[in-house]
Chains A and B, each alone.
Chain A
């Protein structure tokens, strides 16, 4: 095997906490330094909350693992300053092709719409985002990232959580207000607390072969059902950075896991696929089967919060694992920060469980359906599957039935208790309803905004934003709202006429996407989800919606 990536080694540093007596106390301790845990620490720091991150290893991910990062994930990573590094290194793609036997039956384009800063998807090996997040953490002295620090026990005692850990310099204990458990799909902490993540186990085995080759395959996602070079099974080909390609071979149930880790066994399979002329080398081989499962509740004893794969796990088809994890993390952090700062009641945290349970269910449903299409469970289902694929080549009607993975799109928290429902008389279109994540559009910053970027999304997030169409400014109301903590007014206007952050809708796409009319306003949560909107905004409406969005009405 060859390697294009050398894992950085992060040295263990003893902490003064090792000898602290009584044990040191931190507001938040994060167990696990994967993408979820690292992101949580950065988002918390941006919200003014220090944290300690504990990782049992001394490096980032071994092997490519999570590969497809969605537009929403890039936008989430943008909020902590890691989006651009992802796009710079990643391979941008938006075209997917589906083959049945030797023929192409269908192709799809993921982002037919212009005017978004970030592409629909990029491919990038999981060790890169982890490395970018670790590097970014160095800019935040309030994040204490401790390597080779393995958590052995998490226990709630009174209003605190006690965390015990073992390190090369010995064992010690700390306490915290909240612990975030981000220790992965097999979560040792979840197991040690006797908690279950339940769902469906799939019997099929899959082989990931990351290979290095010089080939002129286009940057597209190619998916084969029952190809001549691997009869009866499915194959996925995807481009990665560094001249690397991922090939995902379905092996069927009961494959010999050990045998398929041998490059000499895999070589003929890859040769049959690529032809004899293309030279390649293996970078990584792994064999896996998967589960779709989730915990009944992501919150245990009020203060032990599960996030990412430890809370919910999906099959890889649809790229909903890491992308779902980041959506969960961003959903949790703004709420946790406001509870810790006593700006919101603890009831706000329960909405993390509610909203992300909905997100997890949606991801599990989509991922299970894709898996069932890819691996039919009996002869008749296979017959229908194959018939769909045959018909899709000639007849458009069959194409929506082809399912090689429904790729991750941002979750809409339509039924969230935090939302203020639209007033019927306001006649808003369904897009960008309360609960939806905001859409991007190009803008020009006329008066100092949250960011200098000429895009709408970087102007939103981190705090509540009231996005107002400036053609009708209820000036007195806005001046009153400008005094409200945690709320910033952002005005869309042609010229600067106020003391507020002012953006010019340079391509007219904000007006189009948000269906703006004079006086229209959107109240936007710190995670860039819409929580209320009005045709005629006033201070009274906004204040009531803020109360609701912070769960103050739930107490």
Chain B
């Protein structure tokens, strides 16, 4: 069974983060939400494997930050 890769896998981590920040540079939260939704759906389809997706969702729901 495939497993979610939790090791670093970006070909260019800094460039990815910069591009992600650029996507949301305008600061319109509604627009940002829609972009994020599209992004999640596009990437989820690319991954495809339900077990990997469930593992990612589980971790996403579990990891807490200071404001939660």
Contact B45 A387 (CB under 8 A): no
A495 interface contact, C-beta 8 A: no
Assembled-state Cα–Cα distance A397/B40 (Å) = 13
Complex CA–CA separation, A387 to B44 (angstroms): 13
Chain A residues in 8 Å Cβ range of B60: none
Is A391 within 8 A of B38, CB to CB? yes
| Chain B residues whose C-beta falls within 8 Å of the C-beta of A401 in the assembled complex | 41
The answer for the CA separation of A52 and B50 in the assembled complex, in Å, is 50
Decide if A62 is an interface residue (CB 8 Å cutoff).
Answer: no
Q: Please tell me if B33 contacts chain A, counting CB pairs below 8 Å.
A: yes
Residue of B nearest to A398 (CB): B41
Which residues of chain B have C-beta atoms less than 8 A from A383's C-beta?
33-34, 37
A401 to chain B, nearest CB (A): 7
Q: Is B19 on the interface with A (CB-CB < 8 A)?
A: no
Provide the residues of chain A in CB contact with B34, threshold 8 Å. 383, 387
Q: Does A473 contact B (CB under 8 A)?
A: no
Across-interface contacts of B38 in A (CB, < 8 A): 387, 390-391
The total of chain A residues at the interface (CB under 8 A) is: 10
**B54 interface hit (Cβ, 8 Å):** no
Which residues of chain B are within 8 angstroms of A387 by Cβ–Cβ distance? 34, 37-38, 41
- Give chain A residues whose Cβ lies under 8 Å from the Cβ of B40: 384
Which of A376-431 touch B at CB < 8 Å?
380, 383-384, 387-388, 390-391, 397-398, 401
Q: Which residues of B contact A380 (CB under 8 A)?
A: 33
Q: Are B37 and A397 in contact (CB under 8 A)?
A: no
Expressed in whole angstroms, the minimum distance between the Cβ of B19 and any Cβ of chain A is 20
Shortest beta-carbon distance, B43 to chain A, in Å? 11
Residue among A380, A383, A387, A401 with the most chain B CB within 10 A? A387
**Distance from B63 Cβ to chain A, minimum over Cβ atoms (Å):** 18
User: Which residues of the partner chain A approach B37 to less than 8 Å between Cβ atoms?
Assistant: 383-384, 387
Residues of A103-138 whose CB lies within 8 A of B: none
- Could you say which residues of chain B place their CB within 8 Å of the CB of A398? 41, 45
Chain B residues with CB under 8 Å of A384's CB are 37, 40-41
Decide: A391 and B33 in contact? CB cutoff 8 A: no
Contacts of B41 in A (CB 8 A): 384, 387-388, 391, 397-398, 401
What are the residues of chain B within 8 A of A397 when measuring CB–CB?
41-42, 45
Question: In the complex, which residue of chain B has the Cβ closest to the Cβ of A401?
Answer: B41
Roughly how many angstroms separate A391 CA and B45 CA in the complex, as a whole number? 12
User: CA A525 – CA B48 in complex, angstroms?
Assistant: 37
* Complexed CA–CA distance, A398 and B41 (Å): 8
Taking beta carbons and an 8 Å cutoff, which residues of B are in contact with A? 33-34, 37-38, 40-42, 45
10 A-B pairs with the lowest CB-CB distances in the bound complex, closest first: A387-B37, A397-B45, A383-B37, A384-B37, A387-B38, A383-B33, A387-B41, A391-B41, A398-B41, A387-B34
Q: Which residues of A contact B (CB under 8 A)?
A: 380, 383-384, 387-388, 390-391, 397-398, 401
Q: List 14 A-B contacts (CB under 8 A).
A: A380-B33, A383-B34, A383-B37, A384-B37, A384-B41, A387-B34, A387-B41, A388-B41, A391-B41, A391-B42, A397-B41, A398-B41, A398-B45, A401-B41
